[in-house]
Structure 1
Amino acid sequence: MSLLDENMNQGETMQEYDYIVVGAGSAGCVVAARLAQRIDARVLVLEAGDARDDAASLTHPEQWVANLGSVFDWDYSYAPNPHTGNRTMPMPRGKVVGGSGAINALVWVRGHSADYDGWAAAGNHGWDYASVLPHFKQAEDWEDGPTRFRGAGGPIRVERAKNLHPVAQALINSAVSYGMPYLDDINTPDPIGAGPVSMNVRDGKRWNTWHGYLKPLLGDDRLTLVTGAHVRKLIVSGSRCTGVEFERDGQVRQVRTRGEVVLSAGAVDSPRLLMLSGIGPARELRRLGIETVTDLPGVGQNLQEHPLVAGLCFESRQTLPPFNNNLEGSIFFWKSAAGLPSADLMFVAMQIPYVSPVIDRACSPPPNAFSVLPGLMRVESRGHLRLLSPDPHGNLEIQPNLLSEQADIEALSAGLELGMEIAAQPPYQDIIQRRIAPNWPMNRRQRRAFLRDASVPYQHAVGTCAMGSGPEAVVDSRLRVHGIDGLHVADASIMPSITSANTNAPSVMIGEVAAGLLADERDTHVRHRARSLAEPSHI
């Protein structure tokens, strides 16, 4: 792979490539590397961020929060909504090779098998759990070696958190005290219970798709990575995508493909680029003066996000030891109601006083404090993303509508109560000096007000280019954009419904599936062409 720097000349990008991958994030790195490895094709990757490994916050797991709002973050924001107190909330997105997987909390978890079976049941053939499991395994290098459900030897090293911090160990012990089973491995088909978190780390350092997929291909002429390349729009000729236009160092350039363009720019920028290119809701495009190429009403719709209650905060009895692992270290899954078929709540404990701005102003937590964080993993609320300008650098309205559905409020309220019961278990009481927040107990009205003030996004945006066959679908089950040839989307935006846990590992899986689909399509094309050339012509 050649990595072109600021001295790149225009001629180097005017060449024609077999594949252009837009975005070197959690899925894009996978797509590009697998295509280069599997088939004899020239692949160009355009990434707006830089290739960086020189910052402690990018490498040391316990320093990941320093990435938020930094030069490695696009610094997007979620728009205010009344259900969360009309607060503008940060939406970190990775502005670096590796994407959001380069700045996040390193949690490697797949969710429940029913997540993927649900995708398939909605008409997306090949996306059921049994079908995607081999792709999860293909990506992994699990520390315990291969099992029925885990992979080994793959590009992403995955290990349990070690030497658990007292806050993390108390979460597991308190969950077990409450009656939950212990999970030695949280990546089972039906995770319910508590255990050490799985993280994408190697030798104690972050190990993302840049490290595992792209970086090992340095020197391979089949793959070119251009950093600092801000893609402005897709080039569409008739009904086929034939290239992209991008800006670098103040110069606007175009690059063409003889094959496919793959959008892997994430749940924000993949739909943004589609709409800037005239692919999206015709009514919205007309409002902005963008000529409609294909009317796809679902582009930018179906935005889903996990809400997290950042308001259960406790002062420790003793000075807490230095932070370790990913500032968390443990996790548990549980149900908000006994009759549910699978867990819809996920809890982590933070070794710092991690609270919303409203709770922080009200309580001023001391440094020697920690938080227990309930998160709702199965959400009914749906939001949207809108362009506010036809300018490629223009503002967006990103509205997740957190807690807009009563079902989400009820489930998260049950999570709040469960969090307080967990904090009351003996293992946590052994380390808790006092409760900082919330005031407890609460009546129904007080709980709703607390959830409004304490809820924050988990930074798991998905769904804005949803996969399916209905009128709101953007891509089909082979990730081809409806109505446009030569264009695929491969990232978290294609999820028709959000997974019941963190979304990074599923995004890597999506990259693996996408690369396989693209390679199969190329193999089929080559076979058809060979058969056609071999057939005798008739005059």
Structure 2
Amino acid sequence: MAEVLPLSADYVVVGAGSAGCAVAARLSEDPSVTVVLLEAGGRDRNPWLHVPIGYAKTMYHPTLSWNLMTEPEPNLGGRRVPWPRGRTLGGSSAINGLLYVRGQHADYDHWRQLGCTGWGFEDVLPYFKRSEDQERGASALHGKGGPLAVSDLRDRNPLAESFIEAAVELGLPRNDDFNGAEQEGAGFYQTTSRNGWRCSAATAYLKPARGRPNLTVVTDAHSTGLLLEGRRAAGVKLERHGAKLTIKAVREVILCGGAIASPHLLMLSGIGPAAHLQEMGIAVVHDLPSVGRNLQDHFQARLAYRVNQKASMNTRTRTWWGKALMGAEFALRRTGPLTVSAGTAGLFARVLPGSATPDVQFHFLPFSTSATMLELHPFPGMTLSVCQLRPESRGTITLASPDPRAKALIHANYLATETDRRCMIEGAKLGRRLAQTAALSRWVEEEIAPGPGAVSDEDWLEWIRRTGGTIYHPSGTCRMGGDPASVVDPELRVRGIEGLRVADASIMPTVVSGNTNAPAIMIGEKCADMVKAAAKQRLAA
């Protein structure tokens, strides 16, 4: 897995994130083809990238994250919302909260109904299973022996146990597998970790492929545009260590940059909404109006409580002695607070009358943070984060300028519909009811956020607008569909351009009802099979 950039390769994959690592590793399984994987960030050598709680150190890191920001959000009082995205091998899977959630079966069946043939749940399940190394073993819905480790939590905090009991007290079912037959209910999350260490897409897919001479992984390679020959993608332009370079793709280019970078690169290359490209001074190669449209994200609000329970991580991190004990526990047993994911216990529930399946998701955390979400409160605390699973609001990704180094403009357009506002209000009110149950209230001393001043729906909405933000699941900006207006077809081929596919969360026509890392890896797995099948067809022709 050398890092010297060759002049050409059969396949050039742009972006070593969740999907890109899967695509590159699977394609390179065939020793007769050559694969180059380009990553703008560096190698994943920082030790915090491999410790589960490391996301607290890396999410806003100056070099390991892109540290993006939305434009002023009209429905959030003009606030700009931070959007951290991974900038290293593994992409956002290297800095995320590690939760393994696929979404609901109905999510994928809905994709199929939207014209995405071959993307129903029964179609995608084999790829989830193939990617998975499930600690609990293989079953009808789970895989064993795949690259991606999926493990039970190694630290089951008593506050989290009480959160699950609280949900059951309110009549919600106990659910020990959110990726099982049904998603609804409360239980502990599983994480993408192995023996207490994070299992990013780079760890899962690239590490085992290191010895393959036909796979070249190039870091610090900032892709600046596509090399186009008429309406065919013939390669990728990039900058590396100050040099402007080009690598040719003999067969295909596969974009795996994610919901911001993939449409950004398409538009920089003249593929996108013609009027916008002309406004930016970019020659229009192919007018594809949907590029950068259909942006979706899960929006969250965090209820925070002061508790009387020493199990809160706030207490353990306040002293050097507490930190030393946490470090020793991780070093000796790979357990304790350093193994905590961004949500220990979870809940999927319905809060709107018309919802047939869960419409909100809770991430319970045995700690609480300041408004910046970077510093823990100086008192014992816990957090109940609630997000809406299927937002109606749609945003856009647009260019700021034709300069490839200029960050794209993100217009998330949160809370643009009454349904979205109502769902968040009802979800937050459910969070307070959970905290008021006998199971959880015995630990609660005070509601810190939103606080007792939130009484009416207007109070709740004002707090949500003032404090809510992303839960880091941008998707949809290179929408897949069976219609001519979609960006990619169900084979993930960019419409109107030969030799070019997109495989990442940007192809989701609608965001899945849950965390997006596992679905993005599934998309990479499925894309690799599609590319291999197309190559066989060419040989047979």
Normalising to structure 1: TM-score of the pair? 0.93
Q: Which residue of 1 aligns with 2:455?
A: 442
Q: Distance in 1 between matches of 2:479 and 2:276?
A: 18
Return closer, same or farther for 1:259/1:160 CA change in 2, 3 Å cut-off: same
Matches within 5 A, 1:191-270: 191-270=183-262
How far off its partner does 1:55 sit? 2.0
C-alpha distance in 2 between matches for 1:78 and 1:170: 36
Match of 1:328 among 323, 326, 343: 343
Which position in structure 2 is the counterpart of 1:166?
158
Q: Is the 8 A contact 2:23 2:527 kept in 1?
A: yes
Residue pair 2:342, 2:363 contacting (<8 A) in 1 also: no
Q: Aligned with 2:279: secondary structure?
A: helix
Contact 1:161 1:330 in 2 (8 A): no
**Residue in 1 that maps onto 2:6:** 13
Checking the alignment, whether the CA contact within 8 Å between 1:38 and 1:519 is kept in structure 2 is no
Q: Distance in 1 between matches of 2:47 and 2:76?
A: 34
Contact 1:168 1:328 in 2 (8 A): no
Q: Hey, what does 2:326 align to over in structure 1?
A: none
Shift of 1:437: 2.1
Cα RMSD after superposing both structures: 1.7
Q: Is residue 13–residue 254 contact of structure 1 (8 Å, CA) maintained in 2?
A: no
Contact 2:115 2:483 in 1 (8 A): no
Q: 2:352 aligns to what?
A: 337
**Offset at 1:13?**
2.5
**In structure 2, distance between residues paired with 1:287 and 1:203:** 52
Matched, 1:186 2:201: no
| Alignment match of 1:64 (pick from 36, 41, 55) | 55
* Contact 1:24-1:47 at 8 Å conserved across structures: yes
Over the matched positions of the two proteins, sequence identity in percent amounts to 38
Q: What's 2:330 paired with?
A: none
Which residue does 2:382 correspond to in 1? Answer: 370
Counterpart contact for 2:369–2:377, Cα < 8 Å? no
CA separation of 1:386/1:27 partners in 2, compared to 1, >3 Å: closer, same or farther?
same
How far did 1:485 drift? 0.2
Equivalent position amino acid for 1:280 in 2: G
SS at match of 2:539: helix
Q: Which residue of 1 aligns with 2:100?
A: 108
Gaps of 5+ in 2: 317-336
Alignment of 1:44-59 (within 5 A): 44-56=36-48, 58-59=49-50
Q: From 510, 515, 525, give the equivalent of 2:523.
A: 510
Specify the code of the residue in structure 1 equivalent to 2:407.
N
Q: Are residue 461 (structure 1) and residue 474 (structure 2) matched? A: yes
C-alpha separation in 1, matches of 2:483 and 2:72? 30
CA distance in 2, matches of 1:384, 1:327: 27
1: CA distance, partners of 2:371 / 2:77 = 11
Establish whether residue 297 from structure 1 lines up as the match of residue 309 from structure 2. Answer: no
- The residue type equivalent to 1:377 in the other structure is L
Q: In terms of mean alpha carbon deviation, does 202-211 or 79-88 score higher? A: 79-88
Residue 410 of structure 2 is aligned to residue 395 of structure 1: no
C-alpha distance in structure 1 between counterparts of 2:487 and 2:114, whole Å: 14
Select the residue among 295, 306, 326 that pairs with 1:315: 306
CA distance in 2, matches of 1:457, 1:376: 11
Answer yes or no: is the 8 Å Cα contact 1:355–1:371 preserved in 2: no
Q: Which residue of 2 aligns with 1:537?
A: none
Note the alpha carbon deviations across 1:87-146, whole angstroms, 9 max, x for none: 111101100000000000001100100110011100010000000000000000001111
Q: Which amino acid aligns with 2:394?
A: R
Contact 2:235 2:248 in 1 (8 A): yes
Measure how far apart 1:365 and its partner are: 4.8
The CA deviation at 1:351 is 2.4
In structure 2, what is the Cα distance between the partners aligned to 1:436 and 1:123?
Answer: 46
Distance 2:493 2:384 in 1: 41
CA contact (8 A) 1:316 1:368 kept: yes
Deviation, structure 1 residue 338: 4.2
Pick one of 9, 27, 41 that aligns with 2:19. Answer: 27
What TM-score results when the alignment is normalised by the length of structure 2? 0.92
Cα distance in 2 for partners of 1:459, 1:367 equals 27
How far the C-alpha of 1:282 sits from its partner, in A, is: 0.3
| Separation in 1, partners of 2:456, 2:213 | 64
Contact 1:280-1:297 at 8 Å conserved across structures: yes
Any gaps of 5 or more consecutive residues in structure 1?
A: 529-539
The question of 1:353 aligning with 2:368 is answered yes
Shift of 1:289: 0.6
Q: Determine if contact 1:315/1:366 at 8 Å carries over to the other structure.
A: no
Number of equivalenced pairs: 515
Contact 1:327 1:351 in 2 (8 A): no
Give the 3-state SS of the residue equivalent to 1:246 in structure 2.
strand
- Pick aligned residue for 1:175 from 167, 180, 188: 167
Q: Does 1:410 align with 2:425?
A: no
